Amino acid sequence: QLETLEQEEQECLELRPHPTEKRTHLVSHQHGMTVTKTLQEGKAEPQCQSFCYSQAKLRGLLLEGASLLLLRVLARRQTMPRDLVFPAFDTEGHLCTSSY
């Protein structure tokens, strides 16, 4: 019964003349999860977007760390169940599905 309570991702691109920084912050709470995406290009004001998802929509959610663990378990077992699909987040922080 593993559960992600909070997760932070950061990506920095050192492109001239405007370095870009992307951050994604996920926080689990009583009603579900909030995803906050922040994008800052150069010295411009950071752009922020937040998305909230209910517990019902997140049932079976597979985040990046859990996905790596699942792939290791499947490789170890040398088997792949048919139609293995989980809810996940895309690079923009929107809910999508991840199929194996």
Quote the strand ranges of 30-75, DSSP E: 32-41, 47-54
Instruction: Note the pLDDT tens digit of each residue in 42-98.
Output: 889 999 999 999 999 988 888 877 888 888 998 899 888 888 888 888 888 888 988
- pLDDT (mean) for 12-30: 90
Which strands form 6-13's sheet, in the order they lie side by side? 6-13, 20-29, 32-41, 47-54
Map out the domains of the chain as residue ranges. Answer: 6-99
Rounded to 5°, the CA angle 93-11-8 comes to 55
Residue 22 has pLDDT above 90, yes or no: yes
Residue 2 has pLDDT above 80, yes or no: no
Residue of 47, 53, 34, 50 lying closest to 95 (CA atoms): 53
The whole-model pTM stands at 0.76
